[in-house]
């Protein structure tokens, strides 16, 4: 099949106008192609003009400590912990931001360098308030690790004896404790450059400098989208997720409560990192065993609800297309945007509110599952929904915000009671004395234990669109997706480019399947049409796609676009294990796609458990009355969600 592709941007690059001038100069220098010889600790290496000392040292596998540096972010050079000595130069230089433009001899661990780094650490610790023992990052803090590495065993310049700032716990997703901030500005660069939201900024000057929000307002009162990317890149405990694991334990310990948990695909591909495993090793079925040992009454697969989302969202797309093509309704709203990323939804609400009608009305898999558990599951198991506690294991801090949105109570109760991040569940498992990687495997519980490969790939950027195309193309053409794409792998939608565009011509149509016969008499109106789709991840890239749509560019002609708030999609979510990097996210994606191939059923519309729910409960079928009541949202004229 012919496909037209247009990669735009890169995984983490923000527009040049908002990136550091140094980074642009380094990029330009490297493009010249000139090679420079450099010696680091007596080891020689040849590098392109403009390579930084840190990059050259890493080629030689020489360790230089860093704090403000992060692979996802533009250069800053503000923490000075990476200082090195260059022969012939009087002062030390920061390795992360020093470009190599001529042959130099560098020493990374002389007495002068070690002394300077230790002084930097002493100064950071002097203004860093908080006890390591009760910090969420204890044992996993970059500042703590450097203090141990450099033998800091006392506070040489004293320490902050009391907090200077109040803790901001106003957000359902992110908690800020600026008393632990070391002013590395990673969070600032993440929010401004990586995500282009711009909530955080360095305020004031000199000793009064602090990282804060507009007018120093609480996070809940500014345009924070709750994505948690700042948490993933903070080297200390200054930023953390709003942890409610104590409330989850309390529910588990209450014999009157029936506590169920659903697990999304991305945490399975990442949680092993919390237990010392290399990125990319999934622990799906070991995690099921651990959750039962922790005390959860049922363990369900969010992939089931992802399949349900694909059916509802895919049929909604076909209905919008029918309105546009058959009815020629000028009010038909296209392109349709995916709605399963709550960070993206909040970004759209803040920055492009006029485009809210483009959002699919389908809820996210997390929220669909919660609505079903407190209705269908409660009824079939003769449980009182008020005694059911629903917990969602997600890779995303924004899911904590999503489950607390006032409209997410279609069941008559709060559909999802608690959202847990991957890091928080790892903490619970360790607290229960469980060694996760060594556990035996066990399956998910029924009636939601059956899922497909399409549900699994939701965790990677492009996965929602790939899952949707597997279903929509088979429903419309009557042919197997394997006739279009080998092994059902829609490779053109995969990868980490900032945005992708693809065209899929529909040359023939088939009979209308029973699942959607109540909505469509035939598919003749789609014969000869070309389905145009887009994929985008990270809100900096989303901004460019939205501007392209506004300006009438290529993406304005799409019919369906997948947006994910986080770099790499859910596998790079704000609740995933730290550290994060492009290589780590790629390893997690590989794990997700390998799980997809392990499923015998890989298409959402072939999931027998989904078809059973439509037969037994959602009797009017996809996008019918019952499903709209439970599984969809609507809008008021002001563009706000309502139930």
What residues are labeled active site?
Answer: 313, 316, 340, 360, 399, 402, 407, 570
How far, rounded to the nearest angstrom, does the alpha carbon of residue 584 sit from its chain's CA centroid? 13
Would the CA dihedral through 146, 152, 157, 162 be positive or negative? Answer: positive
Phi first, then psi: give them for residue 133, nearest 5 degrees: -60, -35
CB-CB neighbours of 156 under 10 Å = 14
Which two structure tokens, joined as six digits, stand for 620? Answer: 């009017």
Is the Cβ–Cβ distance between 504 and 157 less than 8 Å? no
Task: Give CA separation, 630 vs 40, 201, 386, 517, 635, in Å.
Answer: 63, 40, 17, 21, 15
C-alpha span between 339 and 534 (Å, rounded): 14
Task: Give CA separation, 159 vs 115, 181, 433, in Å.
Answer: 19, 14, 35
Q: Quote the DSSP letter at residue 575.
A: T
Is the Cβ–Cβ distance between 466 and 457 less than 8 Å? yes
Which two structure tokens, joined as six digits, stand for 543? Answer: 């901004």
Of the candidates 284, 525, 522, 242, the one whose C-alpha atom is nearest the C-alpha of residue 398 is 242
Would the CA dihedral through 432, 437, 440, 444 be positive or negative? Answer: positive
C-alpha span between 626 and 620 (Å, rounded): 7
How far, rounded to the nearest angstrom, does the alpha carbon of residue 421 sit from its chain's CA centroid? 11
Is the Cβ–Cβ distance between 520 and 487 less than 8 Å? no
Owner of token pair 């009438």: 552
Of the candidates 426, 354, 402, the one whose C-alpha atom is nearest the C-alpha of residue 565 is 402
Burial 259-285 (b: 16+ CB within 10 A, else e): bbbbbbbbbbbbbbbbbebebbbbbbe
């Amino acid at each position: 099949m012919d496909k037209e592709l247009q990669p735009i941007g890169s995984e983490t690059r923000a527009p040049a106008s908002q990136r550091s001038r140094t980074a642009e100069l380094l990029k330009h220098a490297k493009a010249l192609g000139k090679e420079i010889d450099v010696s680091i600790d007596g080891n020689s290496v040849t590098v392109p003009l403009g390579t930084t000392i840190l990059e050259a040292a890493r080629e030689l596998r020489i360790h230089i400590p860093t704090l403000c540096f992060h692979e996802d972010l533009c250069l800053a050079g503000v923490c000075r912990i990476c200082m090195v000595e260059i022969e012939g130069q009087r002062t030390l230089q920061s390795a992360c931001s020093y470009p190599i433009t001529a042959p130099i001899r560098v020493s990374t661990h002389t007495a002068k360098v070690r002394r300077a780094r230790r002084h930097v650490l002493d100064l950071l610790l002097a203004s860093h308030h908080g006890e390591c023992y009760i910090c969420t990052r204890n044992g996993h803090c970059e500042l703590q690790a450097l203090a141990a590495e450099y033998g800091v065993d006392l506070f040489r310049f004293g320490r902050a004896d009391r907090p200077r700032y109040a803790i901001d716990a106003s957000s359902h997703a992110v908690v800020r404790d600026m008393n632990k901030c070391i002013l590395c500005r990673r969070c600032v660069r993440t929010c401004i450059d990586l995500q282009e939201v711009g909530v955080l900024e360095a305020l004031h000057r000199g000793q009064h400098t602090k990282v804060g929000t507009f007018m120093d307002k609480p996070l809940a009162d500014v345009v924070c989208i709750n994505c948690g990317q700042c948490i993933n890149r903070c080297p200390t405990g200054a930023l953390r997720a709003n942890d409610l694991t104590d409330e989850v334990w309390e529910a588990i310990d209450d014999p009157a409560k029936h506590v169920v948990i659903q697990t999304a695909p991305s945490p399975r591909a990442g949680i092993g990192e919390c237990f010392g495993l290399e990125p990319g090793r999934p622990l799906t079925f070991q995690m099921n065993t651990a959750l039962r040992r922790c005390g959860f009454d049922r363990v369900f697969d969010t992939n089931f609800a992802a399949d349900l989302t694909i059916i509802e969202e895919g049929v909604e797309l076909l209905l919008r297309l029918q309105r546009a093509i058959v009815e020629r309704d000028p009010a038909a709203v296209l392109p349709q945007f995916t709605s399963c990323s709550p960070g993206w939804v909040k970004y759209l609400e803040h920055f492009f509110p006029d485009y809210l009608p483009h959002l699919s009305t389908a809820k996210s898999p997390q929220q669909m599952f919660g609505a079903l558990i407190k209705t269908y599951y409660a009824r079939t198991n003769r449980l009182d929904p008020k005694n059911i506690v629903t917990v969602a294991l997600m890779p995303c801090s924004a899911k904590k915000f999503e489950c607390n949105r006032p409209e997410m109570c279609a069941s008559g109760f709060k559909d999802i009671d608690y959202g847990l991040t991957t890091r928080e569940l790892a903490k619970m498992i360790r607290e229960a004395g469980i060694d996760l990687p060594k556990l035996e495997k066990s399956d998910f519980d029924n009636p939601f234990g059956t899922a497909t490969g399409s549900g699994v790939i939701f965790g990677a950027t492009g996965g929602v669109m790939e899952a949707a195309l597997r279903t929509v193309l088979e429903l419309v053409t009557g042919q197997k997706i394997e006739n279009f794409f080998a092994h059902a792998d829609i490779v053109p939608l995969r990868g980490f480019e900032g945005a992708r565009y693809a065209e899929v011509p529909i040359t023939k149509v088939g009979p209308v399947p029973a699942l959607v016969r109540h909505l469509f008499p035939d598919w003749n109106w789609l014969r000869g049409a070309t389905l145009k789709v887009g994929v985008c991840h990270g809100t900096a890239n989303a901004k460019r796609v939205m501007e392209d749509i506004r300006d009438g560019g290529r993406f304005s002609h799409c019919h369906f676009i997948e947006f994910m708030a986080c770099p790499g999609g859910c596998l790079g979510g704000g609740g995933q294990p730290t550290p994060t990097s492009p290589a780590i996210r790629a390893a997690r994606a590989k794990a997700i796609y390998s799980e997809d191939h392990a499923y015998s059923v890989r298409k959402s519309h072939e999931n027998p458990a989904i078809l059973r729910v439509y037969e037994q409960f959602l009797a009017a079928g996809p996008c019918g009355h019952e499903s709209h009541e439970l599984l969809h949202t609507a809008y008021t004229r002001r563009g706000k969600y309502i139930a």
